[in-house]
Structure 1
């Protein structure tokens, strides 16, 4: 699986966040609270959902499935005017990303990305947010679902 490499411009996002971990995964709780309210967000650029993860810089060096990270459920917007109650703005910094297309729900793709692709590529993992774009072809719990996984990268020195 070969990703496409993209230089992403900065994006403005509005949504809900929480602290979670692999062991104590609260992803379902996050999206259950966000999805019924997503229509409250004004100035949406599209209906694509952004699932954003923010990790501490050492998260992948000393991987621990109980280590906590921040997870966001968001939509992209043109501006931060009129942020709904109990939601927050988030600016996704731009930069270089490896974009992997996932069909189905095979989480083994993450093992491939971090243990095979990155070590054998001309890139290192960068310490910026990771995210997935859940677009029109995303279908929750459906084996035909499609999404994009965006991994922040930088050229190896």
Structure 2
């Protein structure tokens, strides 16, 4: 599951967001907004898509299925010079991330999360940093398919 530690440069992203929770998941609504409008983005860095979460760091330790957070469906762009109407901009700050490979369906993600937060982070001397968490959905991503693969990026610090 663990792939590498990587320091990201700041990224410019555009897309859509919603406030949601695990119990009342509204993720599909923002992907339904983004996917039909991908052709409007003329300065994308790549074909990769970003599923990004911003948590209230103060409540992260007490996270429950009902804890609200902001969820984004995004595309990385070269600049914000040509943002299509209705899209939101998001600047991902640079920082250190532990990168993991998740294979499988959305339901299988619980096992990946338990490994990351219950084993890998505490056993390797890191803590979760107060920055966005995200997944990179590349060529091997197949929405909720057992053979789907995505990279999971967790912000870390010593």
TM-score between both structures, scaled by the size of structure 2 = 0.94
d(CA) in 2 for partners of 1:14, 1:60: 25
**Paired residue secondary structure (1:59):** helix
Query: 2:131 — aligned with what?
Result: 128
**Paired residue secondary structure (1:128):** coil
d(CA) in 1 for partners of 2:63, 2:49: 27
Count, aligned residues:
155
d(CA) in 2 for partners of 1:54, 1:126: 11
Which stretches in structure 2 are left out of the alignment for 5+ residues? Answer: none
- Alignment root-mean-square deviation, CA: 1.0
Which stretches in structure 1 are left out of the alignment for 5+ residues? Answer: none
d(CA) in 2 for partners of 1:3, 1:154: 17
**Paired residue secondary structure (1:60):** helix
Moved segments of 4+, more than 3 Å? none
Greater shift after overlay, 114-123 or 90-99?
Answer: 114-123
d(CA) in 1 for partners of 2:59, 2:114: 15
Query: 1:96 — aligned with what?
Result: 96
In proportion to residue count, which structure has more helix? 2
TM-score between both structures, scaled by the size of structure 1 = 0.94
d(CA) in 2 for partners of 1:40, 1:154: 37
Aligned pair 1:58/2:58, yes or no?
yes
